Amino acid sequence: MQTLRVDLGDRSYPITIGTGVLRQEFIAPYIKGKQVMLVTNDTVAPLYKESLLNALAGFQVDEVVLPDGEAYKDISHLNLIFDQLLAKRHNRTTTLIALGGGVVGDMTGFAAACYQRGVNFIQIPTTLLSQVDSSVGGKTGVNHPAGKNMIGAFHQPVAVVADTQVLNTLPDVELSAGIAEVIKYGLIYDDAFFYLARREYDGAASA
């Protein structure tokens, strides 16, 4: 297990990375009040929602399970999150938790940026791409028929918890998308890392 820190002054946050880190000790300390809105999708929910609920024992947890897919990353599905927050009377101390890939993460982050002019959110990325890219940096948003990610905001999470164990259920094509992103980082920033990532990728591809 490793914890990295994104240093942004009073908006700094930890990234906990490891196997089996979907645990209370890595999540509960970053929840300000008693209320939690868990946002996930109908693919990830049957796989990991129960584990997360165990880690959230003691909090008032409400949930939104979105349909899976980029096609639903839009304003009308974003509104389902607001509907539930209002129906369950969540106040300004609520914490939104994104359990899923980049689509769930972007939508939950944007909902957190907007709800009552901004509330806390935690990223629990479950694809390799979202673990190495979209869960960090605070870019959030939804698509518009006129363009991808056209409606959004910068809103940093209060914590990111990346459990590498959840990658075991990820389809190969999604794993490849994440590894391609990692190889790209090597190309841009670090020769040695690039060759290491390529070797890992070639090894996995021929296994």
Ligand X SMILES: NC(=O)c1ccc[n+]([C@@H]2O[C@H](COP(=O)([O-])OP(=O)(O)OC[C@H]3O[C@@H](n4cnc5c(N)ncnc54)[C@H](O)[C@@H]3O)[C@@H](O)[C@H]2O)c1
Q: How far is the CB of 60 from ligand X (least distance, A)?
A: 26
Q: Is 37 helix (H, G, I), strand (E, B) or coil?
A: strand
CA dihedral 149, 159, 43, 177 (to 10 degrees): 60
Q: How far is the CB of 122 from ligand X (least distance, A)?
A: 15
Residue closer to ligand X, measured from CB, 63 or 68: 68
Contacts to ligand X by CB under 6 A: 41, 43-44, 47, 68, 70, 73, 100-104, 106, 126-127, 129-130, 133-134, 137, 139, 149, 166, 169-170, 174, 177
For 194, list phi and psi in degrees, rounded to 5: -60, -45
Give the chain's end-to-end CA distance (angstroms, integer).
26
CB burial of 159-198 (b: ≥16 within 10 Å; e: otherwise) equals bbbbbeebbeebeeebbbbbbebbbeebeeeeeeebeebe
Residue closer to ligand X, measured from CB, 37 or 170: 170
Residue closer to ligand X, measured from CB, 35 or 55: 55
Q: How far is the CB of 109 from ligand X (least distance, A)?
A: 7
Residue closer to ligand X, measured from CB, 13 or 35: 13
Residue nearest to ligand X (CB): 102
